[in-house]
Structure 1
């Protein structure tokens, strides 16, 4: 992954206080991470960067859509996503990002790359099970759903005919088990 200048924030030149940054994320952003689970992405990220004398506070928010295949039908659809994340940056002797909410930068650092944090925030906001919104409200028309409905009806018919063909002697044997 290469550093993209757009995501580098040179905080050494910023005044104390809050600063706002806006990013428009698309598929090209995810290609730099070799991440290809999304067919398309359109996500707006806003970052409030609060510079204080001894630390930095970052507040990320995102909202948009990612185009993913439905887990049930396999059809692509736009999945709405949104989320937020906070990050505190302190200064210390050496770089440390072991904690997901706290980043420690060496004292000599003058810029911060927020690309990795935006990537993780967006990817983690996508649910594990992706179901087309048309399935939930019943408006999706699909060949896969039609075939599934056809097979379900066929299976129900087979079960009802199997119940009618049961030998009456089995019923008497089952009654022996329940009479104990």
Structure 2
């Protein structure tokens, strides 16, 4: 499988909503090296809303990917349900203006969305990749940590000093407060 399967020819498209479907499998992820995402089986529905000056891509990606557990190094399937929007506008030069906004020249013939699909799947993954059997244990640890005070920059003596400072105000300020 080559990434050219994810090319969308935009030059001859009419200005309206176009729908595309892509099935992403292990061969798709192998094209990207397969270091983080080992494989998977996903379905991507892509809607392209083309206007005179803007291309708006709406991605809806569902399925599962195969990851390696950070704790046990076992492989496991992680569910993916991701929606994203990406826009491309026409301009004088090709440029990436923002994470979700590109600019292309009017004579651009096609757009390859393979990297966008891969990136949106990658962004949907958790930072800590845990096998499902460790997830409940991890959630219990997080619940227990919420009750522990880690750091406080204020001591009880500092609170007492603040109360004493209120009594030692400048009488000129008191006179200004009475003007109301």
The answer for the alignment partner of 1:110 in structure 2 is 109
TM-score when scaled to structure 2?
A: 0.69
Distance 2:135 2:82 in 1: 22
C-alpha offsets along residues 94-129 of structure 1, whole Å, 9 cap, x if unaligned? Answer: 100141111100121121111111111111111111
The two structures, once aligned, show a CA RMSD in angstroms of: 1.9
Q: Which residue of 1 aligns with 2:13?
A: 14
Whether the 8 Å contact between 2:16 and 2:49 is mirrored in structure 1 is yes
**Which 5+ residue runs of structure 2 have no aligned equivalent?**
138-180
Q: Tell me the alpha carbon deviations over residues 37-94 of structure 1, each in whole angstroms, 9 at most, x when there is no partner.
A: 2332111111010111221111111111111122222222111122121111111111
Q: Once the 2 structures are TM-superposed, how far is the Cα of residue 13 of structure 1 from its aligned partner?
A: 1.6
Unaligned runs of 5+ in 1: 139-180
Which residue is 1:54 aligned to?
53
Asked if residue 35 in structure 1 is aligned to residue 39 in structure 2, the reply is no
Relative to structure 1, is the Cα distance of residues 30 and 49 closer, same or farther in structure 2, using a 3 angstrom cutoff? same
Task: Output the CA distance in 1 between the equivalents of 2:126 and 2:132.
Answer: 13
Alignment: residue pair count = 137
Query: If the length of structure 1 is used for normalisation, what is the TM-score?
Result: 0.69
Quick one: distance in 2 between partners of 1:120 and 1:28? 16
Whether the aligned pair in 1 keeps the contact of 2:7 and 2:113 (CA below 8 Å) is yes
Q: From the two aligned structures, give the one with the greater helix fraction.
A: 1
Task: Check the 8 A contact 2:47/2:58 in 1, yes or no.
Answer: yes
In structure 1, the partner of 2:44 is 45
- Take 1:21 and 1:134, find their aligned partners in 2: how far apart are those partners? 36
